[in-house]
Amino acid sequence: MSSIPLKQTAITSYPKFIGRALWLATEGSFAFYAWMTVLTAVFLVGANAWANQVAGGMITTNMTDHVSWGLYIANFTFCVGLAAGGVMMVIPAYLYDDEEMHKVVIIGEAVAIAAIVMCTLNVVVDLGRPDRFWHLIPGIGKFNWPMSMLTWDVIVLNGYLLINLHVVGYLLYMRYLGRKPNGWWYLPFVFLSIFWAISIHTVTAFLYCGLGGRPFWNSALLAPRFLASAFVSGPAFIILVMRVLRLTTGYTAPASPARTLIQIIRVAMTINLLMLVSEVFTVIYTGSAHAAPLNYLFFGDHGKSGLVPWIWTAIGMNLVGTALFFTPAALERSHVRILACLLVIVGIWIEKGMGLIVPGFIPSTLHEIVEYSPSLLEWKVVAGIWGLGLIILTLSLKLIVNVFTGRMHTDEPTT
Amino acid sequence: MPRIASLFFAVLLCLFASMALAALWQSGMRANTPTNSAAEPQVSQATVHSNEAHPVIIRKPSGPPRIELAGRDPQGRTASVACSTCHSVRQANLENKTAATLDEFHQGMTFNHGNITCYACHNPNEPDALRLADGSSVAYENVMTLCSQCHSKQAESFAHGAHGGMNGHWDLSRGPQMKNNCIDCHDPHVPKYPKMIVGFKPKDRFNEPSNSEHQQEGTAAHDKH
Amino acid sequence: MTNTEPNNTQQAESSAKRSLPIVENFTRRAVVKGGFATLGAAAFVAAVSPLRQAAKSTTAVEFMQQHYTELSPEQKADVIARLEAETKEKYGADVTIADDRPIPGTKFVYAINLSVCNGNGKCVEACHKENNHDRSTNQSYIRVIEMPKGTMDMEKGSTTYSGIVPKDDKFYLPVQCQQCDEPPCVDVCPVKATWKEEDGIVVVDYNWCIGCRYCEAACPYHARRFNWKQPEVPAEEINPDQSYLSNRVRPVGVVEKCTYCLHRTRRGKLPACLEACPTGARVFGNILDKNSNIRWILENKRVYILKEELGTKPAFFYYFD
């Protein structure tokens, strides 16, 4: 009709961007379809389990008035750490101008997005009255800010999600359009995300360590420990993601980002272990009544020792994983690296989750020992949450790869 | 894009954000003060005491105990005897301390109230009354006076509602308060408060009693199974 | 014009041979994808279908209900009427739910004489009955710890004792909500569903609580209970004398706690646990009244509080005589 090309506006091109993203999100090999089907099935099982929990009351979990937080909050704590871990890519890339890291930092941000979504879901499934979620909205409900640390957590987690969504979305959209990203639109948010990532995990730690009635948590070292373990589990997860990307899409990241991450993991894990030793020494050497939760966790108390196998497995995995990280083989693209990552991820999940949240409640504040092990329903719900998180991660990584390899590119003339 | 400029921007943003948050905090703290309090709590006698219309009712025994006689008279009536029926015609043994020496009446009565004699409290001159240490007579209805003579600490606590429990109202301007008599809980001859059996236990999930509890009697230990 | 007409006719004829536009624009691949997406959506709806059953137990009016402190008297009356009707429907009992406000010039304080308490648990039972607690779990706001004489360390104590009390070498420590002056539970609630009222009682708006249980984690005295399921109370056992902030039958998924029986104490009566105590170990009253029993206790007995180092400033005192 007209020979003058239509001026490209965001109104026309952005929906196309989303549309194409969705289309390509459902394109892939048979392995991809199988993976997504499995994840969807797991997610549906989890969703059904949660619906049953809402219908039947939380008696369907194994939580009690003595151990009133369990697997959901344990998983929440770990996922916040995963989300914060992305900052260990942002700092080298943007503060230290690591060019190679620059190429893969968006992977860390995609992991952060998926992790934050999982965090929010973990909290929602833990609510006794999820239908009253609107009570949290400032203005409409009653938001007990700044007194309640949970309100801080709501702010920082949602803020971090928005920051990462914006940065990733903007960079991908610009790449899709073939335009150079305008620094003012994303760099301030990237720098903000550095401070913000530290804050999300510090606030989560403050949730626990501010409670005087829970001496196991009421330690100044809790927030630093959270950060240290986050800077191990986050980067380890990202290394695994990059390996999966190489195996499935053929995209090979440069060798140095992973090496940088492993150096970071080495330091952070050492600090984490040191802090663990410090906590154990302080409690055991003093020998006060406050040693009861730690005694229960590591050795059992009054004949009850449900968590002992958990924590020693975690300690073992963490130690072996750390040792593996310190080998030269870990700096190469080897199986050693992958094994080490898997070991510390699982080890930290246990140590931070079941090994931190549950012992905070055992013994109870009246020193009763009521044990907790998650019910099948709780495992299903958490599996479902992980399923959804991995779906989101897979789709965002797919989008990233598609855009960065040029497979997804606008066909309109760029201005 | 200079890195420093971005860092500067981020710091500025944080500064402004913290200022805004601090402002919100101040308004939040003000909002936290109770706005719907009817009145500031003050030390006030007026609301509680001057309208005191209701009494503190202390239970009293109805009188000296009477002994029911066995059998009935030809008209089918039962009868009871007062203490003075026998004791006004008998010599009082002022040194007796135990029921074991008695061969008529008061058989099998247990006595465990210190090393005092029967007539430390009972009145040999007035069998239907009691007596204080100085010999003055005390009616059975006023037995608390006798108890208070030696147990003044408990009596003082009782007067201040700290011994013996109560029913009814803490606010006497709205209703009465009922208190027990000493002997409602303490048998004067064996005053030690009796042991009880735990009848009601909460059944907290996963909170079974430890194994040593199995040696105990009681329904609660069995409920766990 | 005439030249284009045959062309148009030809085009029209050839387009008649083609399929509908909607089929034209969608490839087979798109149809397959759409089909699976629909299947997935249907599977999701089926998976979360139990939510529909849960939705039945709540109403739109209840969903929209504002915070207790922001209800006008008319709104409160509506809420209370609705709750009374719901109790009748769910439990078959006619109840009266009042809105008991604090008496001006009162601050409630409780004290227990540990030399007298023999651990019989009648207070636990009285609380269970007075506050319409779940019957199957024998729930109560009070827990009694059997402590060995000579120590205050709860680590040495036990709540699962039974049998004949008191045992010779033990003393008994009943613990319930301490109505702290600096309550950690009030600080941590994200939605202000729990707050401290003027007479010192820390209350919960059961229709505002979102059930996050942060308060239960924060309380150092195991004072709070969560309704893991709908409480089960037979109609004939329900205490019909109820109050909005205290002993009305609570919904599932919310936190509750001892309210010093405010439905009794704010009407000048004694709390149920005190009335039930057979040994007379409990003392309750208004600390602002200098002639009250509790004032005498605090001035004349050597009272102490639990976990003083936590700075919670409880309104609950213990003493030995």
Q: Which 127-156 residues of chain A touch chain B by CB within 8 A?
A: 145-147
Cis upstream peptide for B124 (omega within 30°): no
- Domain positions in chain B are 60-70+78-166
Are residues C174 and C75 located together in one domain of the fold? Answer: no
pLDDT, tens only, C4-37: 444 444 444 444 556 666 666 668 888 888 898 8
- Average the pLDDT over B99-124 and give the result: 90
Indicate the angle between helix axes A30-56 and A376-404, nearest 10 degrees: 140
Q: What is the pLDDT of residue C92?
A: 95
Residue C149 above 60 pLDDT?
A: yes
Read off the tokens for A350.
């246990």
Residue C177 lies inside a defined structural domain of this protein = yes
Place of tokens 């072996």: A320
Percent with pLDDT over 90 in chain C: 84
Number of domains in chain C: 3
A97: chain B residues, CB-CB within 8 Å: 3
Extended beta strands in B108-214, E state: 130-131, 137-138, 166-168, 177-179, 196-197
Residue C303 φ then ψ, to 5° = -90, 155
Q: A302-306 — which CB contacts under 8 Å span 24+ positions?
A: A302/A369, A302/B210, A303/B210, A303/B211, A304/A369, A304/A371, A306/A371, A306/A372, A306/A373
Residue of A nearest to B26 (CA): A146
- Tell me the Ramachandran region of residue C92: left when phi exceeds 0, alpha when psi lies from -120 to 50, beta otherwise: left
Interface test with A, best of B207, B208, B212 (most A CBs within 10 A): B207
Are residues C221 and C274 located together in one domain of the fold? Answer: yes
User: Burial level of A234, CB count in 10 A (0-12/13-18/19+)?
Assistant: buried
CB contact under 8 A, C163 and B218: yes
User: Burial level of C104, CB count in 10 A (0-12/13-18/19+)?
Assistant: middle
Place of tokens 């952060």: A112
In this structure, are residues C117 and C172 in contact, taking their beta carbons and an 8 Å threshold?
Answer: yes
A303: chain B residues, CB-CB within 8 Å: 210-211
Place of tokens 């012992």: A359
B175: chain C residues, CB-CB within 8 Å: 268-269
- Average the pLDDT over A166-174 and give the result: 92
Counting every residue written for chain A, the total comes to 415
CB contact under 8 A, A62 and B32: no
Residue of B nearest to C137 (CA): B203
CB contact under 8 A, C221 and A366: yes
Tell me if residue A355 falls in helix, strand or coil: coil
Place of tokens 């636990």: C124
The shortest C-alpha distance from C307 to chain B (Å) reads: 23
Q: What is the pLDDT of residue B209?
A: 65
Question: B34 falls in which pLDDT band (50, 70, 90)?
Answer: very low
Are residues C183 and C261 located together in one domain of the fold? Answer: yes
Chains that touch B (3 or more CB pairs under 8 A): A, C
* C41 at A interface, C-beta within 8 A: no
Q: Which of A70, C196, A129 is nearest to A61 (CA)?
A: A70
Q: What is the pLDDT of residue B217?
A: 37
CB contact under 8 A, C198 and B34: yes
Question: B147 falls in which pLDDT band (50, 70, 90)?
Answer: very high
Are residues C295 and C176 located together in one domain of the fold? Answer: yes
Residue B214 above 90 pLDDT?
A: no
Q: What is the DSSP string of C164-229?
A: EES-TTEEEEEE-----SS-HHHHH-TT--EEE-TTS-EEE-TTT-----HHHHH-TT--EEE-SS
Q: Please tell me what DSSP assigns to residue A348.
A: H
Range B94-117 burial, b when 16+ CB lie within 10 A, else e = eeebeeeeeeeeeeeeebebeeee
Interface test with B, best of A160, A192, A365, A368 (most B CBs within 10 A): A192
B210: chain A residues, CB-CB within 8 Å: 302-303
CB contact under 8 A, B1 and A187: yes
Residue A165 above 80 pLDDT?
A: yes
CB neighbours of residue A197 within 10 Å: 29
Residue C102 lies inside a defined structural domain of this protein = no
Integer CA distances (angstroms), A122 to A125, A258, A354, B55, in order: 5, 29, 15, 58
Domains, chain A: 35-404 (1.20.1630.10)
Q: What is the pLDDT of residue C12?
A: 47
Place of tokens 């109820």: C242
Q: Which of A145, A146, A191 sits opposite B10 (nearest CB)?
A: A191
Question: A279 falls in which pLDDT band (50, 70, 90)?
Answer: very high
Are residues C238 and C133 located together in one domain of the fold? Answer: yes
Question: C227 falls in which pLDDT band (50, 70, 90)?
Answer: very high
pLDDT, tens only, A297-333: 999 998 899 999 999 999 999 999 999 999 999 998 8
Q: Which 148-167 residues of chain B touch chain C by CB within 8 A?
A: 153, 157, 160-167
Residue C317 above 80 pLDDT?
A: yes
Percent with pLDDT over 70 in chain A: 97
Indicate the angle between helix axes A222-249 and A376-404, nearest 10 degrees: 60
Report H helices in A250-375. 255-286, 292-299, 308-325, 335-352
What's CA B38's distance to the chain center, in Å? 34
Are residues C199 and C309 located together in one domain of the fold? Answer: yes
pLDDT, tens only, C134-145: 999 999 999 999
* C213 at A interface, C-beta within 8 A: yes
Are residues C249 and C204 located together in one domain of the fold? Answer: yes
Residue C311 φ then ψ, to 5° = 70, 25
Amino acid (1-letter code) at residue A403: V
Place of tokens 């140095």: A256
CB contact under 8 A, C124 and B201: yes
Q: What is the pLDDT of residue A379?
A: 98
C116: chain B residues, CB-CB within 8 Å: 163
Q: Distance between CA B205 and CA C134 in Å, rounded?
A: 13
Question: A228 falls in which pLDDT band (50, 70, 90)?
Answer: very high
Residue C19 domain boundaries? 4-47
Amino acid (1-letter code) at residue A347: G
Integer CA distances (angstroms), B25 to A143, A145, C147, C209, C305, in order: 12, 8, 44, 23, 32
Q: What is the DSSP string of B45-75?
A: SIIIIIT----EEE----SS--EEPSS--TT
Residue C60 above 90 pLDDT?
A: no
Start-to-end C-alpha separation, chain C = 117
C58: chain A residues, CB-CB within 8 Å: 131
Q: Distance between CA A179 and CA A104 in Å, rounded?
A: 19
Residue B35 above 50 pLDDT?
A: no
Percent with pLDDT over 90 in chain B: 53
Question: A290 falls in which pLDDT band (50, 70, 90)?
Answer: confident
A375: chain B residues, CB-CB within 8 Å: none
Q: Please tell me what DSSP assigns to residue B166.
A: E
C279: chain B residues, CB-CB within 8 Å: 165, 185, 193
Question: A239 falls in which pLDDT band (50, 70, 90)?
Answer: very high
A370: chain B residues, CB-CB within 8 Å: 204-207
pLDDT, tens only, A97-128: 889 998 899 999 999 999 999 999 999 999 99
Place of tokens 């959506």: C41
Question: B26 falls in which pLDDT band (50, 70, 90)?
Answer: low
Q: What is the pLDDT of residue B47?
A: 31
Are residues C125 and C86 located together in one domain of the fold? Answer: no
* B78 at C interface, C-beta within 8 A: no
CB contact under 8 A, A370 and B14: no
Identify the residue with better confidence: A207 or C4: A207
